Chain A
Amino acid sequence: MNQIICLDETTANKIAAGEVVERPASVVKEMVENALDAGATSIDVEIREGGKDYLRIVDNGQGIPEAEVPIAFERHATSKIRRAEDLFQVLSLGFRGEALPSIAAVSELEMITKTFDAPVGTLIAFSGGKKMRLEKVGAPVGTTVTVRRLFFNTPARLKFLNQAASERRYVFDILGRLALAHPMVQFRLVSDGEEIFVTPGDGNMEAVMWSIYGSRIGSNLLPVEREANYITIRGLVCKPDVHRGNRQAETFIVNGRVVESSLMASAVEKGYQSLLPRRRFPIAVISLTMEPSHLDVNVHPAKREIRFSDSSEVYKQVMLAVRNTLESRLSFKAWSLDSSQKATPMATKEAVKQPRLRFPYESKSGKIDSYQKIRPTLPFASRPKTGLANDEVATARIGYTPEQQGTCGEVMMVSEASLSMDTNTDPIGDMQYRVLGQFQRTYVLAEAEEELWLIDQHVAHERILYERLQKQLQAKRIEAQALLVPLHLELGITSTSAVLEWGPKLAELGFEVTEFGPKDCLVRTVPTDLSGISEKELGELLLEIIAKGQTNDYRETTLIIMSCKGAVKAGEWLSLPVMEQLVTDLMATKNPFTCPHGRPVVVRLNLRDIHRRFGRI
């Protein structure tokens, strides 16, 4: 058995580093928080290769007095608290005294610092936790921390770092959030020599949003303000017509600290009520201020999480703050469907009885041999023959008696679930069908032998497009339309870098995306099926592909999304020939019954069931 020993300091620091320092972005977060605690009004961050090789944080804060410099690199050395009781009164961002030694343990770190009253500055340098230099240097007031070769002595961690583009994205993300939490401080981020953003530092949160997300989001923000009990809420939410496929653009701040809070996220989303499409998320920044005694910040080593003493109160107030903003600034009518306007029930219309002419039928037996004779203008849309069945057999079976003809129209009014509405998935085979019309501009009605079909026009079309795209992709024939004027997408920093990171995969799907400044990108080709797409739709589509493609096969995901975007929508009027084409194409698909999302396409009502409903049998 191994002996129990006390770990040496370097090892202990390496272990601690694992908790606090996961990636370059965490170094940025810790150092920027230190700078903020030091009262900096301007913070410059520069990274190279996503911060893996080099990152530097320059602040104009108060600096560290020469004598205290070496102590700052001892574990649990902090100027921010003095005893455990202080934890519940913490207003500063850091307090654990772990950041500096942890980072120094796993990188080559150099710090230059000078206080306003010191004649010269101090330089201290570490490599893998070992002090290399400590000397006097000339320096401006403030602190500059340079971190090189992060994780050079912990290969396991180094291996888990993502490619530079991803790490860069994490840095953009965290620095953007910190800038939002501190609008009074000017933040500047430079990556590989290019200025990514610079915030004005004039206390205006909206200006920070502009800097980070660009004008499309920046110009659609609504201010959130609420004071209730002990909580003060400030923030910005985006109008509901701009939204995202994930929670990436939600920022939560508690007492100036950027936190992750599923509680606040769900409160904000609740505040939007049904204004956002399903599975879409708002763009919001919400900042709470309250007495420190109402929360516990010492839950997570990196202080990412926070515990509220009364979480239901926080939830309620945040939700109300968001809802009040949206309600007061926007007319809710645009979204809430007034059910009385939606459908005019037949019953409310003035009933005027229309006597009908009764046509004498030629055949006394009441049998008519085929539909073509009754309605010569509406020919059968027929599926291409593959089996044995011939026309005569098929049509002869559908003939029904004249007195039943009148029921045809009224069937559409039946909506109760008591009919057998199961989506029958028996093979349709060579059934003859005929399109009757459209119901509520959403469903195509067709009759086929002894069945009435209700076909959801959107999902039917989606199925057709999906199989078509799938075949093209298998045949490697996704064609891309080059664009004369590239589409300019303003997606904000994190989304833009995500899109660019996905560049090669998107190119395979027909989207050629190039960088256009840190917040924007240009799309130079789109798949030919999407040649009429607008910037807004395209931006949403790309982000959706990336968001969903993380977990699933991105090709499959793209096919599903593209077929959904390209399909006719519910509520669109379709002409009879178009509906016939739609049903013909649907019948030719491999799986006409479910859409790529798994929803049913066709609901089949059996004549027997309909008869039973009318008391005929």
Chain B
Amino acid sequence: MQFTSTQGEMLRCLNMVEKAVATRDVQEILTGIYLECGDGKLTLRATDSEISMEAYTTVETTSPGSMVLKAKYFVPLIRRLPSGEVTFKQLKEQQMLEITAGNGSFRLQTMVGEDFPSLPMGNVLPLLEMPCHVLAKMIRQTAYATREDQGHSVFAGVLMEYKADELRLVATDTNRLCFNRQTIPGGEDFNFILPARTCIELQRILPTDSESTVKLTLVGNQVLFRQNDVILVSRLLEGQYPDYSRVMPASTETEIVVECRELTSALERANLMHKQSSASVTLDIEEGILILRTRDVELGESEESLSVKQNGPTMRSAFQARFLLDMLKTVSTDKVRIGLSSGMNPGTIRPLDSDDYVYVIMPVMTPR
């Protein structure tokens, strides 16, 4: 195998697939990146058997072939090569790849390409095509609420549900829940749970422009996302996702409208008065004033008030400050609507004029 490309293009492709390389040496071949060239096209692939990624680029092919290179050495080498043309040539007898760039030439041990697993492709038509920036935003506004879970329960993933031209993403760690929906016409119904890690990798490969689109396909127990010249395949989480609509309150007793940035910085200050990350902040709403209070038995206490637009009776509720902040940091509007109810009933936060992004959060029960 022999082909010529540029340092910049090779690095761009490697950056795409690198995150799927297996970090633990369970199967040695999976710690490598697969290269295959032919017909002026280069395919790069990596997989850790949970996530697989593939990228394509055009190259000048002298002779076709395939091989696997240890990612740990190959990627840093390409990163440090001078920009410009790079030639890759397989030295058959020695199982080596010779990389020539500028005045340098490097020979790297290779593994046999035939042993590398291929992607589950099939001839399945995509179920949905959607703008990349929409999906990226939806993931950004849900994935943070998943639970860090070694047990691989359904809470370690984001529910993706498509029905009647509407895509819905839901995530919960049982303390709070994110619900996000967008109308995207022209797809076929589906419903699966995407692991949180896949969400992060997916977000990384989605371009931010408003033109690009991504296609989604289900192949067995795996989902395949195709964006232009990159493919991401991921295993899905198995299990039954709980009926999220039952925990989303239809209404709340008191509703306030508050400046998002003001509230965020007040919460950040309040959160300093705590040694624990799990500390709570009490919200008192009375006559258009929101008072935030915190108290830590060891450290001290804080009190800060904000003026808000209030609709409903006087209300007191406590939440973990970090859970409130998680959500507020992902809102793109200036103001948010917060709904609160007494007792063990959940509160809600949503952007001022939209019901497409709803955050449901359970209160902290503080002893009297």
- Given the complex of chains A and B, what is the CA–CA distance between A531 and B321 in angstroms? 13
Interface string of A317-347 (1 = CB under 8 A from B): 0000000000000000000000000000000
The answer to whether the Cβ of B265 comes within 8 Å of any Cβ in the partner chain is: no
The answer to whether the Cβ of B28 comes within 8 Å of any Cβ in the partner chain is: no
Q: For the complex formed, measure the closest distance between the CB of B329 and the CB atoms of chain A, giving whole angstroms.
A: 18
Q: In the complex the two chains form, is A528's CB within 8 Å of B278's CB?
A: yes
Q: For the complex formed, measure the closest distance between the CB of B46 and the CB atoms of chain A, giving whole angstroms.
A: 23
Closest chain B residue to A483 by CB distance? Answer: B174
Q: In the complex the two chains form, is B175's CB within 8 Å of A481's CB?
A: yes
The interface residues of chain B lying within 8 Å CB-to-CB of A475 are: 297
The interface residues of chain B lying within 8 Å CB-to-CB of A483 are: 174-175, 362
The interface residues of chain A lying within 8 Å CB-to-CB of B149 are: 534
Q: In the complex the two chains form, is B297's CB within 8 Å of A531's CB?
A: no
The interface residues of chain B lying within 8 Å CB-to-CB of A481 are: 175, 278, 320, 362, 364-365
Q: Which of B265-287 contact A (CB under 8 A)?
A: 275-276, 278-280
The answer to whether the Cβ of B363 comes within 8 Å of any Cβ in the partner chain is: yes
The answer to whether the Cβ of B21 comes within 8 Å of any Cβ in the partner chain is: no
Q: In the complex the two chains form, is B362's CB within 8 Å of A484's CB?
A: yes
The answer to whether the Cβ of B344 comes within 8 Å of any Cβ in the partner chain is: yes
Interface string of B285-325 (1 = CB under 8 A from A): 00000000001011000000000000000000010100000
The interface residues of chain A lying within 8 Å CB-to-CB of B295 are: 477
The answer to whether A477 and B276 touch (CB under 8 A), given A485-B174, A532-B148, is no
- Given the complex of chains A and B, what is the CA–CA distance between A483 and B177 in angstroms? 10
The answer to whether the Cβ of B141 comes within 8 Å of any Cβ in the partner chain is: no
- Given the complex of chains A and B, what is the CA–CA distance between A480 and B368 in angstroms? 12
Q: In the complex the two chains form, is B363's CB within 8 Å of A482's CB?
A: yes
**Interface size range of chain A in the complex:** 20 to 34
Closest chain B residue to A531 by CB distance? Answer: B175
Q: For the complex formed, measure the closest distance between the CB of B9 and the CB atoms of chain A, giving whole angstroms.
A: 34
Q: In the complex the two chains form, is B280's CB within 8 Å of A479's CB?
A: yes
The interface residues of chain B lying within 8 Å CB-to-CB of A480 are: 364-365
The answer to whether the Cβ of A574 comes within 8 Å of any Cβ in the partner chain is: no
Interface string of A447-490 (1 = CB under 8 A from B): 00000000000000000000010011001111111111111000
Q: For the complex formed, measure the closest distance between the CB of A350 and the CB atoms of chain B, giving whole angstroms.
A: 17
The answer to whether the Cβ of B157 comes within 8 Å of any Cβ in the partner chain is: no
Q: In the complex the two chains form, is A485's CB within 8 Å of B366's CB?
A: no
The answer to whether the Cβ of B176 comes within 8 Å of any Cβ in the partner chain is: yes
Closest chain A residue to B345 by CB distance? Answer: A482
The interface residues of chain A lying within 8 Å CB-to-CB of B364 are: 479-482, 528
Residue from A472, A485, A524, A585 within 8 A of B297 (CB atoms): A472
Residue from A479, A484, A524 within 8 A of B346 (CB atoms): A484
Q: For the complex formed, measure the closest distance between the CB of A6 and the CB atoms of chain B, giving whole angstroms.
A: 63
Residue from B148, B151, B177 within 8 A of A484 (CB atoms): B177
- Given the complex of chains A and B, what is the CA–CA distance between A575 and B4 in angstroms? 41
Residue from A476, A529, A534 within 8 A of B276 (CB atoms): A529
- Given the complex of chains A and B, what is the CA–CA distance between A482 and B347 in angstroms? 11
Q: In the complex the two chains form, is B247's CB within 8 Å of A485's CB?
A: yes
Q: Which of B330-368 contact A (CB under 8 A)?
A: 344, 346, 360-367
- Given the complex of chains A and B, what is the CA–CA distance between A542 and B170 in angstroms? 29
The answer to whether the Cβ of B62 comes within 8 Å of any Cβ in the partner chain is: no
The answer to whether A484 and B276 touch (CB under 8 A), given A476-B367, A528-B364, is no
Q: In the complex the two chains form, is A535's CB within 8 Å of B367's CB?
A: no
Q: In the complex the two chains form, is B147's CB within 8 Å of A477's CB?
A: no
Closest chain B residue to A480 by CB distance? Answer: B365
Closest chain B residue to A534 by CB distance? Answer: B151
- Given the complex of chains A and B, what is the CA–CA distance between A535 and B174 in angstroms? 11
Q: In the complex the two chains form, is B365's CB within 8 Å of A525's CB?
A: yes
The answer to whether the Cβ of A536 comes within 8 Å of any Cβ in the partner chain is: yes
The interface residues of chain A lying within 8 Å CB-to-CB of B363 are: 482
Q: In the complex the two chains form, is A477's CB within 8 Å of B297's CB?
A: yes
The interface residues of chain A lying within 8 Å CB-to-CB of B174 are: 483-487
The interface residues of chain B lying within 8 Å CB-to-CB of A535 are: 151, 153
Closest chain B residue to A528 by CB distance? Answer: B278
Q: In the complex the two chains form, is A531's CB within 8 Å of B344's CB?
A: no
Interface string of B171-207 (1 = CB under 8 A from A): 0111111000000000000000000000000000000
The answer to whether A482 and B362 touch (CB under 8 A), given A534-B147, A534-B151, A534-B153, is yes
- Given the complex of chains A and B, what is the CA–CA distance between A477 and B148 in angstroms? 26
The interface residues of chain A lying within 8 Å CB-to-CB of B242 are: 485
Interface string of A531-543 (1 = CB under 8 A from B): 1101110000000
Closest chain B residue to A527 by CB distance? Answer: B278
Q: In the complex the two chains form, is A485's CB within 8 Å of B172's CB?
A: yes
Closest chain B residue to A469 by CB distance? Answer: B276
Interface string of B240-261 (1 = CB under 8 A from A): 0010000100000000000000
Closest chain A residue to B150 by CB distance? Answer: A534
The interface residues of chain B lying within 8 Å CB-to-CB of A468 are: 275-276, 298
Q: In the complex the two chains form, is B297's CB within 8 Å of A471's CB?
A: yes
- Given the complex of chains A and B, what is the CA–CA distance between A477 and B365 in angstroms? 10
Q: Which of A468-514 contact B (CB under 8 A)?
A: 468, 471-472, 475-487, 510
Closest chain A residue to B173 by CB distance? Answer: A532
The answer to whether A482 and B298 touch (CB under 8 A), given A468-B276, A528-B320, A535-B153, is no
The interface residues of chain A lying within 8 Å CB-to-CB of B247 are: 484-485
Residue from A479, A487, A529, A531 within 8 A of B365 (CB atoms): A479
- Given the complex of chains A and B, what is the CA–CA distance between A483 and B242 in angstroms? 13
Q: For the complex formed, measure the closest distance between the CB of B158 and the CB atoms of chain A, giving whole angstroms.
A: 15
The answer to whether A524 and B344 touch (CB under 8 A), given A478-B367, A484-B362, is yes
- Given the complex of chains A and B, what is the CA–CA distance between A22 and B363 in angstroms? 46
- Given the complex of chains A and B, what is the CA–CA distance between A479 and B274 in angstroms? 14
- Given the complex of chains A and B, what is the CA–CA distance between A483 and B278 in angstroms? 14
The interface residues of chain A lying within 8 Å CB-to-CB of B276 are: 468, 528-529
Most chain-B Cβ atoms within 10 A of its Cβ — which of A477, A480, A528? A528
Q: For the complex formed, measure the closest distance between the CB of B366 and the CB atoms of chain A, giving whole angstroms.
A: 5
Q: For the complex formed, measure the closest distance between the CB of B71 and the CB atoms of chain A, giving whole angstroms.
A: 20
Q: Which of B154-178 contact A (CB under 8 A)?
A: 155, 172-177
Closest chain A residue to B176 by CB distance? Answer: A484
Closest chain A residue to B320 by CB distance? Answer: A528
The interface residues of chain B lying within 8 Å CB-to-CB of A487 are: 174
- Given the complex of chains A and B, what is the CA–CA distance between A484 and B362 in angstroms? 6
- Given the complex of chains A and B, what is the CA–CA distance between A224 and B151 in angstroms? 27
Closest chain A residue to B154 by CB distance? Answer: A485
The interface residues of chain A lying within 8 Å CB-to-CB of B320 are: 481, 528, 531
The interface residues of chain A lying within 8 Å CB-to-CB of B367 are: 476-479
Closest chain A residue to B278 by CB distance? Answer: A528
Closest chain A residue to B280 by CB distance? Answer: A479
- Given the complex of chains A and B, what is the CA–CA distance between A531 and B276 in angstroms? 12
The answer to whether A529 and B278 touch (CB under 8 A), given A484-B175, A484-B176, A535-B153, is yes
Most chain-B Cβ atoms within 10 A of its Cβ — which of A480, A524, A585? A480
Q: For the complex formed, measure the closest distance between the CB of B253 and the CB atoms of chain A, giving whole angstroms.
A: 16
Q: For the complex formed, measure the closest distance between the CB of A573 and the CB atoms of chain B, giving whole angstroms.
A: 13
The interface residues of chain B lying within 8 Å CB-to-CB of A476 are: 367
Q: In the complex the two chains form, is A484's CB within 8 Å of B297's CB?
A: no
Most chain-A Cβ atoms within 10 A of its Cβ — which of B242, B295, B365? B365
Q: For the complex formed, measure the closest distance between the CB of B187 and the CB atoms of chain A, giving whole angstroms.
A: 28
- Given the complex of chains A and B, what is the CA–CA distance between A478 and B278 in angstroms? 11
- Given the complex of chains A and B, what is the CA–CA distance between A68 and B175 in angstroms? 65
Q: For the complex formed, measure the closest distance between the CB of A446 and the CB atoms of chain B, giving whole angstroms.
A: 21
The interface residues of chain B lying within 8 Å CB-to-CB of A485 are: 155, 172, 174, 177, 242, 247
- Given the complex of chains A and B, what is the CA–CA distance between A510 and B280 in angstroms? 14
Q: In the complex the two chains form, is A528's CB within 8 Å of B280's CB?
A: yes
Q: For the complex formed, measure the closest distance between the CB of B365 and the CB atoms of chain A, giving whole angstroms.
A: 4
The interface residues of chain B lying within 8 Å CB-to-CB of A525 are: 344, 365
10 A–B contacts, CB within 8 A, in A order = A476-B367, A479-B365, A480-B365, A482-B365, A484-B175, A485-B177, A524-B344, A528-B320, A531-B320, A534-B150
Beyond contacts A477-B367, A479-B366, A528-B279: 14 other A-B pairs, Cβ-Cβ < 8 A, are: A468-B298, A472-B297, A479-B364, A480-B364, A481-B364, A482-B346, A482-B364, A483-B174, A484-B175, A484-B346, A485-B247, A528-B276, A529-B276, A534-B149
B residues whose Cβ falls under 8 Å from a Cβ of A: 147-151, 153, 155, 172-177, 242, 247, 275-276, 278-280, 295, 297-298, 318, 320, 344, 346, 360-367
